[in-house]
Structure 1
Amino acid sequence: MEHVPPPAEELARLDRELAELDARRAQLLTRRAWLLAALRPPAPTAAPGWNPSAWGAPPGGGPGAPAQPWGYVPPKQPSAPRSAQNVLLTLGGLLLTVAAVAFTLVSWGSMGIGGRSAVLAAVTLGALTAPAVLLRRKLAATAEALAALALVLTLLDAYAVHAVAAPDTDGLGFTAVASAVLAALWTAYGLALGKLRLPLPAAVVLAQWPLLFWAWAAGAPALVVGWALLATAVLDGTIALLGKGAGARITACVGGAVMGFSALLVGLTLSTTASGPLGAVAPGALLLTAAAAALAGAWRAPEGFARTGGVVAGLAAVAAVGGVPAHAVPDGWQVLVYLLCGLALTAVVRSRLPGNATRGVLAASGAVLAGALVWALPPVAAVLLGPVTLLPDVWAGSPEDFRSALGSTLRWPELSAAPVVLALVAGLLGAAYRWWPSLARLAAPLGEPGAAGAGAPGAGSASAGALGAGVAGAETAGAGAPGAGTPGAGTPGVGAASAGVPGAGAAAPWPAWPAWSGAGVGSGPGVRRPSGAALRGAAGAGAVALGWGALLLAGAVLNVPYALALAGETVLVAGLLALAVRGAGSGRGASAVPVTALVGAVAGAASVGVLSLASEGASYAVVGALAALFAGAAVRAGSEVPRAVFAVASTVMATVLTGFAGRSLGLAPHETAPLVLLVPALTVLLGARLRRNPVALPVELTGALGALVAVGLAVPDAPFLALVLALCGVLAAGAAVRPERRPVAGYLAAALFVLATWVRLAASEVSFPEAYTLPVTVPALVVGFLRRRKDPEASSWTAYGPGLAATLLPSLAVAWTDTDWLRPLLLGVAALVVTLLGARYRLQALLVLGGAVLALDGLHELAPYVVQVAGTLPRWLPPALAGLLLLVVGATYEQRLRDARRLKDALGRMR
């Protein structure tokens, strides 16, 4: 009969067998790896021209290529012989060039015309012919060196022809013709000898000068020079798109950028300095042509260059179109004209441009908008900060108008368009905030990650850009791009990258860049983009801030009366508070719009509050209204943080009102201090009413700051200072009634009472403070003793600290100015007794207070003798003793540190 084990036993046996199989498999795999390593040749150390981490097959890994391990690259050739060869060739070419220059400039005159022509022709022809022979023999480096020599010789030939054959011709005109001929010659030479890398870039460099030198030689006006520069830039762009060889393309890119920028600079200068609208038409045509050329280049360029071309095209179009009407409007309104032209660029979203070029044009529109805001925002800052000039002359009288109150020297007539600019941008941002889902759907094609296109006409964009970056794919309204967020949507070299690969269905005008270099940028995994909700919040916040700034600035531009300016700014604060309360109560919490409204309300309240200081009645009306508005907002707000901010602002306004009341009553600053304490008293009562409400603590802290202001006002007068300190102690004691405030407010109240007593005694010039302090000390010590009997765990600082400090510290202060010996002696004896009692009963307060007072009292008694002895000692002795002490302390530092720790522990164990 066959034995069948239980399931648990059988399972354990199977697990053991599987573990043995796994161990055997691991052993075999290890052996196999060792054998492969032994049979395989040494691995290469570098991969020239190819990044193994990039997507795609290795070089030469086509369909018919032998299989290679992932990341395999052929080994490098030794670099030392090649480096030595390059050095020798460079030196040889340099020496031949120097010899040719010396011959042309120095020895030229010693030969006849025939000999000169024969020598130059023979040497130049030989230098041009030799590279072809050397290339057939696979001596490419030597051929490059001789080609460089031939380039120098052709330049010298041109100089020689001008110096001998045509010495009377214009140098600039001859240079234009010579550079054109040499550019054509070296283009043909480079195309004939395609393996040489120098001729084609040299031809591109030479091609930069013919038109420019021709215009210069003809004395052409600046506009013609601009057209010459633009034509050269267009030629460079064509070479960059269709030229042969990476060197020629890169050189053409650099040359096109320089020439194009110069042409734009000429056109912009002529457009802005034109005498009228008709005078700006011709420069506008130049700028429009430049825009069309940049847009045409952006149509086929890779991603980065396409965006740059879109930006250049957009800015040039704005300068061209806006330059004509800008000369027909009054001064100060030109910015608005250019802004409208920049906003018109957003219509490109509906065009059939490639995505990258479209994002570049949109970036240009954003740049124009940003420039207009940079021009319009500084006056807003002047309106907000200008009232600070009223602080030295508070209540000096109401000014006539708003500008007089600001005290600004700005040329307001030239800023008349600034409020319109701010209002226009605010309206656009507000519309975007209101109709965000529709805007998201409109911009969704710009964020499609699967349409890189590599610059092919009509293709989509490679990544989310200026407008579609966060709009598409992240908007809660569902306006995201189809397929956004799917695996591989933004993976370099996958999907969209094939659009730029030759033979993949689209032209590849930029073979110098890998196909995967422009795909998925900004849309791949790990790229952080702002969400649609964040962009919408930013638009709403911008609309609120710019709209508020537009209204503020409108009052200054229109120069409204002073009273109307105060009323208008107060109404603006009320509107911002309403918006902040509405946003805070809707559950959005710290969203951008209510937070911006809250910040604007606080800043506006501060500005209009300072602005109202010109008149007494205006100060009461404005600050009172602001206090009421912030108090109402604190009551209506639904979130804790806005409510606390509103309550704090209302408390500050109420404190300012008490200061106004003191000034109206004709009180001195120290006499106003008790009046200022009314608001801290109200905050203590309000805190007791709110209890543990989150708003209670900020309000009480603000009241404490008001009490600190009152103390500062009372400092010049000691009796009032004592009174204010005592009142502050009463307020602190009232707060200490609440258990949650007792740990801090209790100690603060005791300290304020003691400080008030000292100040009062000093103000009364009392020479025997013990007569006033001992009657307080004795009952306090009795109360502390009874407290310790009832609660042995109570701290000695709570029980005995206030009572001892009430007598010891004032007596110590008087003893330091007492020339008699009796008071220091009695104080020292009392401090010694207190110190001994503290050590005996392990009471920390007695030991610390008594010891400190005893040490200071002893120092006071020994000070005259120390000064006398120090006067008789040599001057070198104190520094020597100090150095010796430092050496001793440094040598025994660890021991001193342990002693200090033991002392700290001993004091910590005391009550």
Structure 2
Amino acid sequence: MRYADPAVCPECRSPIASGVPVCPTCRLLVRHPLAVDLFRTLRRADTLLGELRTASDAFHSGALARASVPAAASARTSPAAGGVAGPVAATPSGPPTPPSAPPSAPPSAPPAAPPAAVPAPPARTGVAMTSVPKILLGLGALCLLVAAAVFLAVSWSTLGVGGRTAVLAGFTVLSGAGALGLQRAGLRIAAESLSVVSLGLLGLDLTGAGAAGWLGDIGPGGTALASGVVVALAGLGLSLVRPPRGSRLSAPQVVAAVAVLVAYLGAVRVSGDWLAPSHVLTAWGVVAFLGARRLAMPLLGRCQVAVAAFCWTLGAAVAGFRVVAEPTLHELWIDGSGWSLLLSGAALLAPGALLARRDLLVAGASGAALVLTGVLTAPSLDEGLGVLGIVALAVTAAWVVALAVLPAPWRGVALAPSAMGNLVLLVLGSWTALLALDRWAAIGVLLERDLGITLRGPEPVAEPLLLVPSLLVVVAWTALVTTGRRPSQRAGWLGAAGVVAGLGAAATLASYDVALALPVTVLLCVALGTGAVALGRRGPTADASAWLAVTLAGAAGVAALPSAPLTMLVAGAATVLALVLATADPRGATAAGSVAAAPLLAMATTGAILTTGASTAWLAIPVLVALGVLALALARPTVELPAAVVAVLWLPISLPAVTDLGGFVALWLTVAGSVLAAAAVIHPHRRDCGWAGGALLLLACWVRLVDLEVTAPEAYTLPLAAALLGLGAWRLHVSAATGTLQALLPGLLVGTVPSLLWVLADPVSLRALALGAACLALTVGGAALRWSAPLAVGAGIGAALVLRELGPYAGEVPKWVWIGLAGALLTVVGITWERRLDEVRRAAGRLGRLR
């Protein structure tokens, strides 16, 4: 037997299930901290008991070994010592011998070996022993209920009134009595199962009685109501029974809550209304919670509160739906939906009051304030969005003020109604802003030469004048919720309020038939103000303000696109703002201004060109020049990369209106290449741009030559060859370690190989004569200067050219001439080979004779 057994109660030794906080038999708190200490002590007792058993076994094994001594030694043991006396021998004559010394104590047993550690009990696997009866009894109860239902359905018509009454009452009474008897006997699980059976049979009894007309003409709703009330009372009665050495049953408490829910649904069907039964059940939940707390029945209280919360939710939802569907005074105060919502809101105070918790009380008060606000402002829903906006603004502003002035412990009361009011204001404000955007899109023109374009379109649904104060209320609420009333955050929120107010003013102006320049100017002023704030700050705040400023400036430029003069003015001012930000302190807003400068400058240039009446064909190149100047002035990646992207994007805008496509593209490539070359010359850290600029210039030449239908290869290759040879000669001049193959070979091949390919196709031409002269000059010059690249290229290209010139006459030479030439060539090669071999032998001999 173990003292520490988690599956049994330490006091009454009755089995307990895993996770149960209280022993069902003796009501001992088995999960209390003292119970944990007791369990540790019992485990220590099990360990000590095991050690004691080991020591005892070792001691008895040693005593048994000591007991096996010679029989003679055992015979000399004195009787007083407990030995067995032998036959009395004759006493020899003479003086008596002195008594012998007392026997020595037996040698002590050897020290016991240290006890082995008591092995820990194996981990439990499979189904716990206490779970088996629960499963079996649960299935048994289910089978009994199903059998009773089937019996009731099948045999009801065959039994008389007396038989029916006897069967129903007998089964119900027997099951209830059995549950109480099993509870007194300590068989809790069986008692729980039979209690469920008895209450289920009681419900079936009442249902059958109602169907048979025993309860009168009350209908299905009345039967459900009566059944629920009776079963709930019976469940409460069974829950209150407590034996002397046991605990109350749990299943009847749960069944009582389910029966209350059934009674609620029956009452709704009987009355045809959801509101009154919901309030009655809500009040019943409060009473049940108080009674359960007084009787120390937490399960009953939780179940009844859960049912009451469900009924409260249904009642509040139905009342709220009725108010929204018909927000009239008659519906609110005559039909009772408003009163119902007020009662539902008052019920939210119950949890905090019952549990004496201020946080729950504040949360309930906030919900009640929300319900009260909704009921009082509901009639405005029937008066149009204008009136709704005014009411929502006034009420929300009042709650925001309350949020600011209430003491800290009670500030949460204003949180729910102010949050809902801000949500309404945001919905109405978003609607106004979307309609303003729709009016801007309805202009339908782009970059017209008209500064007085007027906004027209659908009329606003909500009142546009409420947009700015509504947005300011939302900003104030957000500031109070997120940062409280800390003065350190006040400046940032004031700036945010200014930006939001400016945006709201622009949207408000766009909601009326005014000139487009008005809302665009307001938007630009907001951007300029935000940029000024960014210039006066440092760190992340400056970066955020700068990005917001350039974003608003870009939005103003986009909004001005219907008018070319307005675009020129707005985008020009935005470009100045971006350049100021780009040249500000590097610790501030440089990145935002640098990135935004190129697109804003392109928009301003486009507006200026189209204002003069020029065609869109003249857009790409002036924009490219302007962006090139900007990139040369601010040579940083955040300026150059956006400028390159914008320049490429602006090129397709001009192409549809161009008459000479090839010449236009060549000119654009020339300007782009010149800008890159200039960047390589002006800025030392942009030397690599020279290669890209040269490539664009060469591509511009080729495009122009194709446009002029030039087919001679020299027009395409000689400029590139000349550039490469010039760079190679400069490289030879500055670096003595550079060879001619590295410096001059690319240019020489570009200048000669394409012409050689054309000469191979047409050997008798002026091109062949010029190529031959060039090869002769390269060969002679290379030999004179001792440069390998010109000598190799001149000799190789010249040899190929000579052989190609000999080709037409090769067929007219007799065959014996070719054979003789081959023999002579082989003879010369053989003689040379043998001579060189002889020279090698003589050199080896001289080397061997050296000392």
Smaller-chain TM-score bracket:
0.5 to 0.7
Q: Paired residue for 1:652?
A: 599
Q: Secondary structure at the match of 1:741?
A: helix
Question: What's the offset of the Cα at 1:675?
Answer: 1.8
Q: Paired residue for 2:566?
A: 618
Q: Paired residue for 2:843?
A: none
Which of 627, 633, 648 is the equivalent residue of 2:575?
627
Give unpaired runs (5+ residues) of structure 2.
8-15, 22-28, 47-119, 794-851
1:567 correspondence with 2:622: no
**Which residue identity does 1:605 align to in structure 2?**
A
Q: Paired residue for 2:831?
A: none
Computed over aligned residues only, the root mean square deviation of the Cα atoms, in angstroms, reads 4.8
Decide whether the 8 Å contact of 1:343 with 1:369 is kept in 2.
Answer: no
Q: Paired residue for 2:185?
A: 137
Task: Tell me the alpha carbon deviations over residues 567-620 of structure 1, each in whole angstroms, 9 at most, x when there is no partner.
Answer: 343233223422332244233x322xx666545543443333233333343333
Which of 143, 149, 170 is the equivalent residue of 2:197?
149
Superposed counterparts of 1:836-875, under 5 Å = none
Question: What's the offset of the Cα at 1:392?
Answer: 5.9
Task: Tell me the alpha carbon deviations over residues 419-465 of structure 1, each in whole angstroms, 9 at most, x when there is no partner.
Answer: 055334256259x5xxxxxx7xxxxxxxxxxxxxxxxxxxxxxxxxx
Residues 97 and 196 of structure 1: CA distance in aligned 2, closer, same or farther (over 3 Å): same
Q: Paired residue for 1:68?
A: 40
Decide whether the 8 Å contact of 2:520 with 2:560 is kept in 1.
Answer: no
Superposed counterparts of 1:361-760, under 5 Å = 362-363=415-416, 365-380=418-433, 383=436, 387=440, 393-395=446-448, 401-404=454-457, 412-414=460-462, 416=464, 419-420=467-468, 422-426=470-474, 428=476, 471=484, 539-540=493-494, 543-557=497-511, 559-563=512-516, 566-587=517-538, 589-591=539-541, 597-632=545-580, 637-638=584-585, 640=587, 642-665=589-612, 667-687=614-634, 696-713=636-653, 717-760=661-704
**Which residue identity does 1:68 align to in structure 2?**
R
User: Matched residues in 2 for 1:719 and 1:133: separation?
Assistant: 109
Decide whether the 8 Å contact of 1:180 with 1:206 is kept in 2.
Answer: yes
Residues 806 and 389 of structure 1: CA distance in aligned 2, closer, same or farther (over 3 Å): farther
Q: Secondary structure at the match of 2:540?
A: coil
Which of 162, 173, 190 is the equivalent residue of 1:125?
173
Question: What's the offset of the Cα at 1:303?
Answer: 9.1
User: Matched residues in 1 for 2:3 and 2:359: separation?
Assistant: 43
Deviates more, 1:796-805 or 1:358-367: 796-805
Task: Tell me the alpha carbon deviations over residues 284-311 of structure 1, each in whole angstroms, 9 at most, x when there is no partner.
Answer: 3322222221123234457996676456
**Which residue identity does 1:269 align to in structure 2?**
F
| Higher relative contact order, structure no. (Cα contacts within 8 Å, ≥ 6 residues apart) | 1
Q: Paired residue for 2:731?
A: 787
Q: Paired residue for 2:345?
A: 291
User: Matched residues in 2 for 1:237 and 1:770: separation?
Assistant: 102
Question: What's the offset of the Cα at 1:668?
Answer: 4.5
Q: Secondary structure at the match of 1:81?
A: coil
Residues 772 and 398 of structure 1: CA distance in aligned 2, closer, same or farther (over 3 Å): closer
**Which residue identity does 1:562 align to in structure 2?**
A
Question: What's the offset of the Cα at 1:732?
Answer: 0.8
Question: What's the offset of the Cα at 1:155?
Answer: 0.9
Task: Tell me the alpha carbon deviations over residues 847-879 of structure 1, each in whole angstroms, 9 at most, x when there is no partner.
Answer: 9xxxxxxxxxxxxxxxxxxxxxxxxxxxxxxxx
Decide whether the 8 Å contact of 1:342 with 1:368 is kept in 2.
Answer: yes
Decide whether the 8 Å contact of 2:3 with 2:42 is kept in 1.
Answer: no
Decide whether the 8 Å contact of 1:398 with 1:614 is kept in 2.
Answer: no
Which of 384, 388, 398 is the equivalent residue of 1:334?
388
Decide whether the 8 Å contact of 1:310 with 1:364 is kept in 2.
Answer: no
**Which residue identity does 1:260 align to in structure 2?**
W
Q: Secondary structure at the match of 1:99?
A: helix
Decide whether the 8 Å contact of 1:176 with 1:211 is kept in 2.
Answer: yes
1:766 correspondence with 2:713: no
Q: Paired residue for 1:233?
A: 282
Q: Secondary structure at the match of 2:34?
A: coil
1:191 correspondence with 2:202: no
Decide whether the 8 Å contact of 2:426 with 2:471 is kept in 1.
Answer: no
Which of 1 and 2 has greater Rg? 2
User: Matched residues in 2 for 1:89 and 1:772: separation?
Assistant: 100
1:176 correspondence with 2:225: yes
Task: Tell me the alpha carbon deviations over residues 514-573 of structure 1, each in whole angstroms, 9 at most, x when there is no partner.
Answer: xxxxxxxxxxxxxxxxxx85xx6874565345323321221133x04124xx23432332
Q: Secondary structure at the match of 1:402?
A: coil
User: Matched residues in 1 for 2:469 and 2:163: separation?
Assistant: 74
Give unpaired runs (5+ residues) of structure 1.
1-38, 52-56, 433-438, 440-465, 478-531, 848-911
Deviates more, 1:748-757 or 1:577-586: 577-586
User: Matched residues in 1 for 2:588 and 2:681: separation?
Assistant: 26
Superposed counterparts of 1:229-308, under 5 Å = 229-237=278-286, 239=288, 243=292, 245-274=297-326, 276-277=328-329, 279-281=331-333, 282-301=336-355
TM-score normalized by the length of structure 1 = 0.63
Decide whether the 8 Å contact of 1:402 with 1:555 is kept in 2.
Answer: no
Question: What's the offset of the Cα at 1:116?
Answer: 1.0
Question: What's the offset of the Cα at 1:785?
Answer: 4.0
Q: Paired residue for 2:827?
A: none
Residues 305 and 189 of structure 1: CA distance in aligned 2, closer, same or farther (over 3 Å): farther
**Which residue identity does 1:751 align to in structure 2?**
A
Q: Secondary structure at the match of 2:619?
A: helix
Q: Paired residue for 1:201?
A: 254
Question: What's the offset of the Cα at 1:735?
Answer: 0.9
Residues 65 and 311 of structure 1: CA distance in aligned 2, closer, same or farther (over 3 Å): same
Decide whether the 8 Å contact of 2:564 with 2:608 is kept in 1.
Answer: no
User: Matched residues in 2 for 1:324 and 1:809: separation?
Assistant: 92
Task: Tell me the alpha carbon deviations over residues 695-734 of structure 1, each in whole angstroms, 9 at most, x when there is no partner.
Answer: x443333333343245445656111111111111111111
User: Matched residues in 1 for 2:746 and 2:617: separation?
Assistant: 28
User: Matched residues in 2 for 1:842 and 1:139: separation?
Assistant: 113
Decide whether the 8 Å contact of 1:714 with 1:724 is kept in 2.
Answer: no
Identity of aligned residues (%): 23
Decide whether the 8 Å contact of 1:200 with 1:248 is kept in 2.
Answer: yes
**Which residue identity does 1:189 align to in structure 2?**
L
Decide whether the 8 Å contact of 1:376 with 1:419 is kept in 2.
Answer: yes
TM-score normalized by the length of structure 2 = 0.67
Decide whether the 8 Å contact of 1:300 with 1:306 is kept in 2.
Answer: no
User: Matched residues in 2 for 1:323 and 1:786: separation?
Assistant: 88
Residues 396 and 264 of structure 1: CA distance in aligned 2, closer, same or farther (over 3 Å): farther
Q: Paired residue for 1:20?
A: none
Decide whether the 8 Å contact of 1:681 with 1:731 is kept in 2.
Answer: yes
User: Matched residues in 1 for 2:600 and 2:543: separation?
Assistant: 21
User: Matched residues in 2 for 1:668 and 1:263: separation?
Assistant: 70
Q: Paired residue for 2:83?
A: none
Superposed counterparts of 1:308-327, under 5 Å = 309=364, 312-327=367-382
